[in-house]
Amino acid sequence: MAKRIDVSDLHIYYGNFLAVENVNVSIEPRSITALIGPSGCGKSTFLRSLNRMHEVIPGARVEGKVVMDGVDLYGSDVDPVDVRRQIGMVFQRPNPFPTMSIYENVAAGLRLNAKRMKKSDLDDLVERSLKGANLWTEVKDRLDRPGAGLSGGQQQRLCIARAIAVEPDVLLMDEPCSALDPISTLAIEDLMTELKERFTIVIVTHNMQQAARVSEQTGFFNLNGVGQPGRLIEFNPTEKIFSNPDQKATEDYISGRFG
Amino acid sequence: MSQTSTAPAPTGSSAPTPRRGERARRVPNWAPWAAFAGAAVVVGALWPLLDLNIALFVLYTVVLGTLAVYLLTRSVEGSRQAIDRLVTCLVVSAFGLAMVPLVSLVWEVVSRGIGRLDGTFFNSSLVGIVGEGGGAYHAIMGTLIITALTTLISVPIGLMTAVFLVEYARGRLKRAITFLVDVMTGIPSIVAGLFAYALFAIFLGPGVRLGIMGAIALSVLMIPVVVRSAEEVLKLVPNELREASYALGVPKWRTIVKVVIPTAIAGLGTGVTLAIARVVGETAPLLITLGITTATNLNAFDGRMATLPVYAYYQLTQPGVPPQFATDRAWTAALVLIILVMGLNVVARLISRFFAPKSGR
Ligand SMILES: Nc1ncnc2c1ncn2[C@@H]1O[C@H](COP(=O)(O)OP(=O)(O)OP(=O)(O)O)[C@@H](O)[C@H]1O
Ligand SMILES: [Mg+2]
């Protein structure tokens, strides 16, 4: 079940350092929202604040509201663990569990939460998730081998399989394709297009073509200088951003005339 | 410096430079060995003159051999290689020097202790033994029981403290606990013994001797070791794994139990085993808290117990007449203790081998 996320007046801090300033945005359900912007402008930080992964870092905190289907995720009665069950995440760097096999890695979301499931159902789920992440054919004969023994790109797809296996409502992906070859990248993009029927997807990417290909909405983050907070400069439908952006900075960034 | 250089000259020079593959003059591989053999012969020839003993002989040989290798290499290969060889000689000598006490200790204990390493030693106690015969069954069992009890007390406390320090504690509280653990690491073992004795004397009156007292005294020594080693190992678990688990909606405690600890299990097991090896040979605290017996007592909550280190101590200091038999038993007890510690070290290595996260393809 896809859900809508409304962010208002969001400030994100690391200790005293204001990393991202005043974000106001609505993320539509059943669509892909792409976030672009130069390195260090706070895309990952913003993404992590959507499923309350930000506060895992000591001293990190946020101010403002993130409302998902009418519920403020930062409300005092909301359990961050519940939030993360509904909003899955794929990280910038692949991080499979080194003690677990490929199979166990995919099943980790259920196993670690001690959810009971019939063996055959679990097998189905693992197969479906691995197929979804375009990894099945490569690993189907060695599901019991360690997940850390895969190549970097395979590990990243394993992490995607792990994230979609728990069937979240929203899927956050932080540069999921930065370690992948063009074929796997296309497969992931197809996967995203398929998943958006059911999920809300937010993706951070440095690849403009990718943003243009897959997303409906695009947000451009930028920062004025080192030590300054990042800001959401422009948020518009992708076609508009790439053909006729409102802001000069966006146009400069997209056309490569940056700085 | 007359140096036959193989390094390519800076680019752009038209002067003929030595090509890659064109080998400079090299000292053959056997030459250093020959130099040391020669040095040994020379020093050996001087033995009657200098009135040497074996230690001095080795010392002079090493010094002379090192010098010879250095000069030889310097004249043939140049100064950089010569310094390389010189430092190699120094490092190997230092290693040899470090091995001397270890080897001589093991040699001494084995040669003196092997004589009584027989069946009787392992299956009889000292009840009714005045001279020959007798064994250390009661002491071996005592050591095993006390060590097991100590492990049972220390490992849960130590591990949980380490988990608390790494996963939960922040700021001042964390610094305070770390400081206290550091202080505990430095407690002299006799103080730990006195602590346990004083603690039990409050409730059970002075002169009390119990196995559990010894286990508590040893725990005071073992807990900080477990905490420190476990803390280091847990810190090595990458944060990304914790985040991966959180992002799947796994609560923190489950993440610790199912992700962090399994990832670190090899290091944790090794640390615990080495901590056990550290306390298994403790004598002073057991002397105060357990005393010694001649009979077998397997109940840690009732009266005195014998343990190997204390057994060895009493056999050596109060041997009776003739002293020979008791002294032999003391050496054998020391040998058994060393075997125990070495066994534990082997176990530690096996643990880290078998439980290490696998990345094989
Ligand atoms: N754990 C942290 N502690 C303190 N500051 C941090 C931390 N992580 C990131 N920052 C800071 O927050 C700012 C935004 O970082 P962020 O990782 O969100 O950038 P990004 O847009 O994802 O960049 P990239 O495209 O390189 O991934 C940077 O100035 C960074 O230095
Ligand atoms: Mg990032």
Give pLDDT, residue A11.
94
Residue predicted with more confidence, B321 or B290: B290
Per the CB < 8 A criterion, the answer to whether A218 and A238 are in contact is yes
Nearest bound ligand to CA A38? 1
Does any CB of chain A come closer than 8 Å to the CB of residue B257?
no
* pLDDT tops 50 at residue B2: no
The span from the CA of B86 to the CA of A187, in Å, is 60
Residue B8 has what pLDDT? 46
Establish whether residue A44 lines the binding site of ligand 1, counting it when its CB lies within 6 angstroms of any ligand atom: yes
Beta-strand pair A217-223/A200-204: unpaired
DSSP SS3 for B2 = coil
pLDDT bin (cut points 50, 70, 90) of residue B12 is very low
How high is the pLDDT of residue B170? Answer: 86
Mutate: best of B165, B242, B250, partner A, most A CBs <10 A: B250
- Total residue length of chain A: 259
Band (B260; pLDDT cuts 50, 70, 90): very high
Q: A132 C-alpha to center of ligand 1: Å?
A: 30
User: What's the CATH fold of domain B123-354?
Assistant: MetI-like fold (1.10.3720)
Tell me the average pLDDT of chain B. Answer: 88
Instruction: State the ligand closest to the CA atom of A12.
Output: 1
**Residue B53 binned pLDDT confidence (cut-offs 50, 70, 90):** confident
Task: Work out the pLDDT band at B23, boundaries 50, 70, 90.
Answer: low
The CA A39 to ligand 2 mean position distance, Å, reads: 7
Residue from A112, A141, A202 to probe the interface with B (highest B Cβ count within 10 Å): A112
Can you give the pLDDT at residue B11? Answer: 46
Tokens 């490929």 appear where?
A102
Nearest CA to ligand 1 atom 19: A40
Q: What are the E-state strand segments in chain B? A: none
- The single-letter code of the amino acid at B136 is A
Q: Which chain B residues have a beta carbon less than 8 Å from that of A95?
A: 238, 240-241, 243-244
DSSP of A184-246 = HHHHHHHHHHHHTTTSEEEEE-S-HHHHHHH-SEEEEEEESSTTSPEEEEEEEEHHHHHHS-S
pLDDT digit string, tens, across residues B111-147? 999 988 888 999 888 888 888 888 899 999 999 999 9
Looking at residue A46, what is its pLDDT?
Answer: 94
Query: What are the domain boundaries of chain A?
Result: 5-99+170-254
Candidates B162, B292, B147, B287; CA nearest to B225 is: B162
pLDDT above 60 (res B64): yes
Could you say which residues from 23 to 42 on chain A have a Cβ atom under 8 Å away from some Cβ of chain B? none
- Report the nearest atom of ligand 1 relative to the CA of A57: 1
**Residue percentage of chain B with pLDDT more than 90:** 63
Q: What is the pLDDT of residue B230?
A: 96
Summarize pLDDT for B201-243 with one digit per residue, the tens: 999 988 889 999 999 999 999 999 999 999 999 999 999 999 9
Most confident of A174-188, B150-164, B282-296: B150-164
For residue A225, report the distance from its CA to the centre of ligand 1, in Å.
Answer: 14
pLDDT at B359: 54
**Strands of A200-204's sheet in order across:** A71-72, A60-68, A5-14, A17-27, A230-237, A217-223, A32-36, A200-204, A170-174, A87-90
Evaluate the CA torsion angle A145, A150, A154, A157 in order and state its sign: positive
Residue B20 pLDDT: 54
Give the pLDDT band (50/70/90) at residue B7.
very low
CATH 3.40.50.150 fits A5-99+170-254, yes or no: no
**Residue bearing the CA closest to ligand 1, atom 12:** A19
Give residue B361's pLDDT band: very low, low, confident or very high (50, 70, 90): very low
Do B298 and B253 touch, CB atoms closer than 8 A? Answer: no
User: What pLDDT shows up at residue B5?
Assistant: 45
Average pLDDT of the segment spanning B317-343: 91
Distance CA A44, CA B243 (A): 14
Mean pLDDT by 10 residues, chain A (259 residues): 85 93 91 92 93 91 91 91 92 90 92 86 92 88 89 88 90 88 84 85 92 92 86 92 89 77
- Rounded to a whole number of angstroms, the distance between the first and last alpha carbons of chain B is 52
Q: Considering only CB atoms, which chain A residues are within 8 Å of B357?
A: 98-99, 146, 148
Q: What per-residue confidence (pLDDT) applies to B300?
A: 87
* CA angle in degrees (0–180, nearest 5) for B38-B40-B42: 70
- Exposure string of B115-145, with b = 16+ CB inside 10 Å and e = fewer, is ebeeeebeebbbeebeeeebbbbbbbbbbeb
Instruction: Give the model's pLDDT for residue A258.
Output: 58
Least confident of A183-187, B86-90, B261-265: A183-187
Domain boundaries, chain B: 3-112, 123-354
Q: Which of A201-205, A255-259, B290-294, B297-301 has the highest mean pLDDT?
A: A201-205
- Give B148 Cα–ligand 1 centroid separation in angstroms: 49
